[in-house]
Structure 1
Amino acid sequence: MTDFADNAHRAERAMRPLFPATPLQRNAHLSERFGAEIWLKREDLSPVRSYKIRGAFNAISKRVAEGQTRFACASAGNHAQGVAYACQHFGVHGVVFMPVTTPMQKIEKTRIFGGDAVDIRLVGDYFDDTLAAAQAYCADAGATFLSPFDDLDVMEGQSTVAVELLDQLDSPPDMVILPVGGGGLSSGMKGYFDATGVGVDLRLVEPSGATSLAAALEAGAPQTLNKVDNFVDGAAVARIGARPFEILRDVPRDHVLSAPEDRICHTMLEMLNVEGIVLEPAGALAVDVLEPLRSEIKGKRVVCVTSGGNFDFERLPEVKERSLRFAGLKKYFILRMPQRPGALKEFLGFLGPEDDIARFEYLKKSARNFGSVLIGIETKDAGAFERLFARLDAAGFPFRDITEDALLSEFLI
C-alpha cells in the first residue's frame, strides 16, 4: 500500500472523534428502477451536510500539528462550512471570505458551525474578488489559505470517502459514480482506489454548464472555461484544479459525463418526493446519470456518492419549474393574438382538460390587428403541446415557443 493510501487511512481514523462514517445505504427504489444494486454514499448526512468537512479537517489538522493557528478561505458554500466546523474543533482562528451576494442562510450556517472561532467577511460581488481578498489577507496576516480542492491534504481528506465505502461493503462495487467540480473528491477517491489496486470502474459527472474536466482531458491540461452556469453551485468550477488533474488525467474521456441542469432538477425532486432525501444540485449529479448509464449498470453493484444536501428551499420554485420544463410538462410561448372580439375565447377552446395557464401577460398593447401575449402552459401530458400547437397553426394563430430560448427566458419569464 502506498503513502497515499496509508495517509488516507490515518486521516479516516483521525476523523472518527469528530463524526462517524457517513451511511452507505442500499436504495430499493433506484435498484428496482434500473435493475441493479444501487447504493448511496450519503455525504449529505455529514455534520455539515457535505463531504467538504473531510478535506478541511485533514488540511487544518496537519497545519495545526506544524504550529499554524490562523487560517482563511474563500467560499460561498460547503467549503466555508467545513472550514468553520474544523476551526471550531481545533480551537484555531479562521476568516471565511464570502461574496456580498451570498444567501443569508449560508452565512448563518457558517457562523453557527464556527462560533467564536470564525470571522465572516463579505467582500465582492463575484467570487474572483472574494478569492483575491482572502489571499491578500493571508499575505498580510501570515494566515494559511485553505483551497477547496487544489491542495494535496484536502484531496487526501476527501479520499476517506473511498476508505469508508470499501469498509462498508463485503466486496468492492462494480462501479462508483461521483460528481466533479474542482476535482478534490474525484481525485482523492481515484487516488485511493489506484493506490490500493481495487478494481473499481469510475464514472465522473459534471454539470453541463461547467465541464472543466472534460475540457482539460481534451486539451491535455487544465483549461479555463469562458462561461460557467452557476446553477449547480457546488460543482460549477471554471477550471479543474492542477493537482487533482494530475491524478485524473488518465480517466477515459467517455467516462466523464455531463448532466443538464434541468434534468438535475428533475432528479432532485424525484429524490425528495419519492425517497425524502434532500440533495443540493451537486449532490444529485451521481444519481442523475443512472438513466444514461442504464445499459452499463444493469445487474451490477453501483455506488453513487450523494455529495451534499445544503439546499436552500427558497430555490424550490425554480427547481420545480426547471423540472417541469425538462419533462416537457411546461412551456412558454409568445402568441400573436388577433385583436378581435372572441379571439381569447377561441384560444381558450384550444386548451385540453389538463392544460393550465400558468402565465398570461400582454407584452404589447396597441390598436394593431395583433397583440403579443406571453403565455405559460403547464400540463400533465407532454403530448398535449403537440396537439395545442397543431390547433394554433390550423386556426392561424402565429406563435413562438421560447421555452429553450435562454435569452428571452431570462428577460420575460
Structure 2
Amino acid sequence: MISFADAARNATLALRDLFPETPLQRNDHLSQRYDADIWLKREDLTPVRSYKLRGAFTAMRRLLAARPDQSHFVCASAGNHAQGVAYACRHFGVKGTIFMPVTTPQQKIDKTRTFGGNSIEIVLTGDYFDQTLAAAQSFCAEKAAHFLSPFDDDDVILGQASVGVELLDQLGRAPDLVILPVGGGGLASGVTCFLREAAPQTEFIFVEPQGGASLTAALKHHGPATLPRVNSFVDGAAVARIGERNYAALSWARPKQVLLAPEDRICVTMLQFLNVEGIVLEPAGALSVDVLPDLADSIRGKTVVCITSGGNFDFERLPEVKERAQRYSGVKKYFILRMPQRPGALREFLTMLGPEDDIARFEYLKKSARNFGSVLIGIETGKPSNFAELFAKMEAAGFSYRDITQDETLAEFLI
C-alpha cells in the first residue's frame, strides 16, 4: 500500500497541470526582528489566491479517475472553497453547482463566477451558512451529484498536503517549525500528515482565531465539538466544528501547541504586511504570522515556515480593519463623556486635547432638562500613553467619562 507521503507527492505532481508551485520566500524583516530564519509559504499566490484549489482539484481528479461518469459536483461555500471548486470544474470540464449564502459579498460571487465560467451555476440561498449547507446536501441527494467538502474529505486532505511537499523540497531541508492556520482542519491535517512522515523532526504550532477555536474545543473534549458561537471576522477559518477526519489526523496535538489569535490583533498584522511588505493577506491568511510575537523566545535561531493561506481580501473592509487595528493598538478609543451644560464647557474640553489627539467621532445630545449632556467621542492619537494624559486632565477638571472601546454591546450599537 502506498504511503501517505508518496501519495502526497503524486498529488503534488498532478497539480503541476494546473499551476506552478507557490513561492517559499525568506522574509528578511521578520527574520531580523525575531533573530530567526523565517520563511513564508505564499498560498495567497495560487490562481485563486488560496490553498483551497489544491484540495478541490485533487478530490475531483481522483473521483473522476475512479468514476469517469461522475460529471456533477456540488459545494457550499461563501469564499475560497467555492472559488477552488469553480476553477477545478472549468479545468476538468464538469458541471458545478455552488451554493452560497444570500449574504455573500458580490465581489466573492463575481470572482467565483469568473473562475468557473460556463461550467458552474451559483445558487444563493440561506441567510446563514448552515442553511446553505443543508440546501446543498439536499440538492446532491436529488441530483445524484457529488458533494465536495471543504475539509472533511480524505482526498481534500491529500491535496492540501501538497503545501508540505512543496515547502520541504523548496527549503531543501526539514524546518524546525511550521506554523499552520486552522479552520476546519484540512490544511493542517494534510501538511502535518506529510511532514510527520517525511520530516519527523519538524515541530508544529497551530493557530486559530480566538472567536473560532474549533481545534481547541476538540482537544478539550477528545473529539469534534460544536462551538456555541463563532466570530465570523476571520471568515476563512471561522468554523464552528472541526472535521471528523481532520480531528483524527490532529488528535496527537497537545493543547499548548494551539495558539489563539485575537481578531483585532490580526488586523494589526494585516496592515503591517500591507504597509511594510506590500503583501495583501486575508484575515485567515495572516494567522500564522500573527502569533510570531508569542513565540519570540522559542524560535530564536530556528528555521520557521509560516503558511500564509490566502489573500482574498475585499478592500471595502479596509476601513474596518484599520479601525480594529487602531483600537487594539490603543491609539483609538471611544468614550461617553458627561458634558456640563454650561457655556464654555466644550471649549474647555477641547483645550485638554494634546497635539497628537484628533477627534474622529463627536455626537452630542443636548437635553435642556438636565445639567449634563451625553457625548459620544472617538479620538485617534499618536501613541497609547496620550490617553492617560487626556483622562488625567478630564478627571482633574471634573469631567466624568466611560471608556466603551472594549464594550462589544455598546460598540455594536453606537460605533
> TM-score normalised by the shorter chain: which range applies?
over 0.9
Query: SS in structure 2 opposite 1:72?
Result: strand
How far the C-alpha of 1:244 sits from its partner, in A, is 0.4
1:316-375 C-alpha deviation (Å, 9 max, x unpaired): 000000111111000000000000000000100111011000000024634310000000
How far the C-alpha of 1:3 sits from its partner, in A, is 2.1
Distance in 2, matches of 1:207 and 1:362, equals: 36
Q: Structure 1 stretch 368-377 or stretch 355-364: which is displaced more? A: 355-364
Query: Segments of 4+ in structure 1 off by > 4 A?
Result: none
How far the C-alpha of 1:6 sits from its partner, in A, is 1.5
TM-score by length of 2: 0.98
The residue type paired with residue 256 of structure 1 is V
Structure 1 equivalent of residue 17 of structure 2: 17
What is the 5 A alignment of 1:12-411? 12-65=12-65, 66-67=67-68, 68-363=70-365, 365-411=367-413
Kindly indicate whether the alpha-carbon contact (under 8 Å) linking 2:334 and 2:403 is maintained by their aligned counterparts in 1.
Answer: yes
Kindly indicate whether the alpha-carbon contact (under 8 Å) linking 1:403 and 1:409 is maintained by their aligned counterparts in 2.
Answer: yes
Distance in 1, matches of 2:252 and 2:185, equals: 14
TM-score by length of 1: 0.99
Change (3 A) 1:180 1:363: farther
Query: SS in structure 1 opposite 2:126?
Result: coil
Distance in 1, matches of 2:185 and 2:368, equals: 55
Distance in 1, matches of 2:367 and 2:103, equals: 36
Measured on the aligned residues, the alpha-carbon RMSD in Å equals 0.9
Distance in 2, matches of 1:284 and 1:367, equals: 51
Question: Size of the alignment, in residue pairs?
Answer: 413
Kindly indicate whether the alpha-carbon contact (under 8 Å) linking 2:205 and 2:258 is maintained by their aligned counterparts in 1.
Answer: yes
The residue type paired with residue 11 of structure 1 is A
How far the C-alpha of 1:197 sits from its partner, in A, is 4.6
Distance in 1, matches of 2:398 and 2:19, equals: 65
**Which structure 1 residue ranges, 5 or more long, are not aligned?**
none
Distance in 2, matches of 1:32 and 1:82, equals: 35
The residue type paired with residue 114 of structure 1 is G
Structure 2 equivalent of residue 412 of structure 1: 414
Distance in 1, matches of 2:368 and 2:133, equals: 50
**Which structure 2 residue ranges, 5 or more long, are not aligned?**
none
Q: Structure 1 stretch 2-11 or stretch 127-136: which is displaced more? A: 2-11
Structure 1 equivalent of residue 8 of structure 2: 8
Distance in 2, matches of 1:36 and 1:356, equals: 38
How far the C-alpha of 1:171 sits from its partner, in A, is 1.0
How far the C-alpha of 1:392 sits from its partner, in A, is 1.0
The residue type paired with residue 134 of structure 2 is A
